[in-house]
Chain A
């Protein structure tokens, strides 16, 4: 029976035989250290996380405080990157903006993983009607234009960052479900699993101890790459007026509201744009590095 499922998983990553998890982790780490770009990405991520946590301490001013006498002021000692149209310190807003972006990027991921993986495992392992039902639901979600979902959620529930997270999380669930399901289906057939079944190892144990770890690699890779996309989507939603609430400092919102004045003062638009760029870049570099490392490992 020819398997055509491989083409549906993330490209370049194939399911594989599980080796001892501990040594995999150590070897991964060692290989990762050798890749400079990935290290750079990781370093940047750590820097961003620290910035987000220590925002209140590092930022020179309160990001929502208006300095009425310094509207659109050029950079100075008091305002290292100048102020925006409402007289708010650009640097402080950049620093605090890290929180929103990371929050959205990471937690939408967490939601997607915690719902998507179990669904994928169940679907792949049990097959049959359950599989069909779950996959149909996944199709329905995938067929949703993301912005439709975002508006609706924003409008039904109280609009805030949490709901952007939920919206983005829901949209990603099918990706993880499908990914995991593919891996599960592939490994299910493997002999040692059949052997374990013959030995009457309970299902749950089977799922979590043996099958799941095989999917780790593609999940990890997809995850790090998704964070970047989530951040960009949040910025796009803000551009359409559907994302974070003002006056919460958000790079997406600042990008949009300052864009109108880009000719008068390009810098206040450029900085949030660059912030988004570097954050996404960091996650992409790290994710890429991870993939390069985990991939050849698993290919043997």
Chain B
């Protein structure tokens, strides 16, 4: 197992290098660079060139990339071209916010999806099943920023139950933190819940169909329970897979929610960096995003073993 994990981590490297290199090159081809943004209206070509030289932006591209990589390997993620603040500081502040958003919304989704999907699968084609499916179907079809804005208008403005914006660090004030995160978490969590409900139901149905036939001579009610437990375990596999794949999407996709609810997460950090062309920040953002995604999938793969010990790891396996 340890070997497997190590191998997977090693395979990470080419991916990460690939991603960061591609982004690096792409950013250089976009019109405008950080100096353009800094100079503002009273722009002068000589000043701009001087600034570029100072920032090291006039060297050949591969040299710049190499320099960045070199610093990174020594643990230096670089400094923002605008604020001169170490990029790592910003990331360490913003990433936990997004992670919290991610984790909480996933928990919310699972809390809804597991019971709902199970009920729907156990009693297929009844009104319980249909209603769950209808709601799930609806949930997947709504753009989440629309849902987000509707939610905060309802709960924030009309009812006034929840604060609409801002962020209080978890360690500072846990209750306040949760209160402020409530709306964004729900806005992100509900559509995911819908997706996962369908998934849980579908997988469960499959398994139940199989098991039910073979254990038709079950001893009694107790067996149903066992089937359910066993079935659920199997159904978890695709569920967990999808959650893993979604992580990558969520990091970027939560941008909209972060913007609407003024949550200082990593998604909005990334977009701002791109718009401002703050190259070190963009590189860091992409790196972090890629890392989180790949690690999440690694965790998912490891979870498979926990869920179903029949699955093993093989050489040559992806």
* A-to-B contact residues, CB < 8 Å: 1-2, 4-5, 7-8, 11-12, 135-137, 139-140, 142-148, 151-152, 155-156, 228, 232, 235-236, 239-240, 252, 255, 259, 262-263, 273, 276-278, 280-281, 284-285, 288, 291, 295
Contact = CB atoms under 8 A, between A and B. Distances in A.
A239 B148 CA distance: 12
B203 A147 contact: no
Given A144-B286, A146-B249, A228-B141, 18 more contacts: A2-B311, A4-B311, A11-B239, A12-B202, A12-B203, A12-B238, A136-B14, A144-B289, A145-B251, A145-B267, A146-B253, A147-B267, A240-B255, A276-B141, A276-B143, A277-B138, A280-B141, A284-B140
B212 to A, nearest CB: 14
B241 interface: yes
A25 B104 CA distance: 44
7 contacts: A2-B311, A151-B274, A151-B275, A156-B29, A228-B140, A252-B143, A281-B137
B158 to A, nearest CB: 10
B131 to A, nearest CB: 13
Classify chain B's interface size: 35 or more
Given A143-B294, A148-B270, A235 B143 contact: yes
A5 B304 CA distance: 12
B232 interface: no
A109 B46 CA distance: 47
A229 B90 CA distance: 31
Interface string B5-23: 0000000001100110011
A12 B209 CA distance: 12
Contacts of A240: 255-256, 259, 271
A280 B140 contact: yes
Contacts of A2: 310-312, 314
A255 to B, nearest CB: 6
Interface in B107-134: none
Nearest to A152: B26
A205 B19 CA distance: 35
Interface in B229-265: 237-239, 241-242, 245, 248-249, 251-253, 255-256, 259
A143 B311 contact: no
B223 interface: no
A140 B24 CA distance: 13
A262 B150 CA distance: 9
Interface in B181-217: 198-199, 202-203, 206
Contacts of A232: 141-144
B30 interface: yes
Given A155-B31, A277-B142, A281-B137, A1 B248 contact: no
Contacts of B14: 136
A135 B14 CA distance: 11
A284 B137 contact: yes
Contacts of B15: 136, 139-140, 143
B149 interface: yes
B149 A262 contact: yes
B241 A145 contact: no
Interface in B136-171: 137-138, 140-146, 149, 153
Contact of B143 (A7, A144, A156, A236): A236
B84 interface: no
Contacts of A4: 304, 311-314, 317
Contacts of B311: 2, 4, 7
A1 B317 CA distance: 11
Contacts of A142: 245, 248, 293
Contacts of B27: 152
A146 B238 CA distance: 23
A1 B314 CA distance: 9
A11 B271 contact: no
Contacts of B294: 139, 143
B60 to A, nearest CB: 20
Given A140-B18, A276-B143, A281-B137, A148 B286 contact: yes
A35 B314 CA distance: 42
A273 B143 contact: yes
A7 B304 contact: yes
Most buried by B among A140, A255, A262: A140
Contact of A7 (B142, B146, B237): B237
Interface string B61-101: 00000000000000000000000000000000000000000
Contacts of B19: 140, 143-144
B153 to A, nearest CB: 7
Nearest to B242: A11
B298 interface: no
B31 A277 contact: no
A112 to B, nearest CB: 15
B238 A7 contact: yes
A93 B302 CA distance: 50
A136 B146 CA distance: 35
B316 to A, nearest CB: 9
Contacts of A137: 18
A240 B19 CA distance: 23
